[in-house]
Amino acid sequence: MRIMTIPGIFLLAAAGLVLFIKAFPVLKDNGLWKLLSSGSWKPSAGEFGFLPFIVSTLWVSAIAILIALPLSILSSIYLSSYASETIRRIFRPVIDLLSGIPPVIYGVWGTLTIVPFIAGNIAPALGSGSSGYSILAGGIVLAVMIIPLLTGLLAEIFRSIPSGMTEASLSLGATRWQTVKRVMLRRAFPGIAAVTVMALSRALGETMAVLMVCGNRIGIPKSAIDAGYPLPALIANNYGEMLSVPGYESALMFAALVLFAIVFFFSGISRIILNRLEKRFQY
């Protein structure tokens, strides 16, 4: 069976290698540190500072996870241990359907509802102006996109908890909520962590929906209602014209490499944390 993982590893290495080769010219001209830490983006002058894009990507993904995770945990707990069989039967296909909707539709929905809402309600409430096309809009749309994914996976994790374990807690006179809090969440913790990283990777890489609502203005966003420009949006928006400016192609390939590295980094970190957790929570 182990041999079957070789194609997967090979693909991963090949993708990384190709990106690296393509990104090499811009790396050679600017140096890694300057590319990552500079905020100046002037392709025609040969200046490629990726910091605004990296910051935007991390902001949008963090907001998405912060919104999506608590909601998903609560709704999956409801579905797995409170909801009646009828409700479950209705919601399971709905959740599957929601996770299958193309991102562009979420993007359109975001521009029609979330963006005006931020411009008209949230920004004035914070005492500042915003077009609505912002990091926050991107985070909210992304959250709505990953909630079905998270909820479905988490409900599966909660359902996999042996019924004897929850019954043991209930038969000791614990209420359902006490059982959820003290037994189910504890038992499911490594699973929740793993699923969260999966959702995070999805959020980091999501392109279309984010591109449509984030504003795509180059500059380090100062607040959540500022416009931002995440890495995937940068690549998608400029892919068509990259050949017209020298070094631009290589720069976009570097953007892809950075995205690749970020996702890789988070998966790696999570793997380490998960191993620790599983040791601590091996009950």
The residues that touch another protein, with contacts defined as CB under 8 A, are 84-85, 162, 164-165, 167-175, 178, 182-183, 186-187, 281-283
CB of 171 to another protein, least distance (A): 4
- Rounded to the nearest whole angstrom, what is the least distance from the CB of residue 278 to another protein in the complex? 11
Q: Is 238 exposed, middle or buried (0-12, 13-18, 19+ CB in 10 A)?
A: middle
Cβ 177 to another protein, closest distance in Å? 10
Pairwise CA distance, residues 70 & 250, whole Å: 39
Q: Is the dihedral of CA 47, 16, 256, 60 positive or negative?
A: negative
State which residue, 21 or 168, has the beta carbon closest to another protein: 168
Shortest distance (Å) from residue 161 CB to another protein: 9
* Minimum CB–partner distance for residue 75 and another protein (Å): 20
5 or 282: CB nearest another protein: 282
Q: Burial of 68 by CB count in 10 Å (0-12 exposed, 13-18 middle, 19+ buried)? A: buried
Task: Identify which of residues 7 and 162 has a Cβ nearer to another protein in the complex.
Answer: 162
The answer to whether residues 227 and 133 touch, using CB atoms and an 8 Å cutoff, is: yes
Pair of tokens at residue 33 = 């540190």
Output 42 or 159, the one with its CB closest to another protein: 159
Q: Which is nearer to another protein, 45 or 87 (by Cβ)?
A: 87
The dihedral formed by the CA atoms of 140, 208, 23 and 216, expressed in degrees to the nearest 10: -60
Instruction: Give me the residue label for tokens 């990777």.
Output: 201
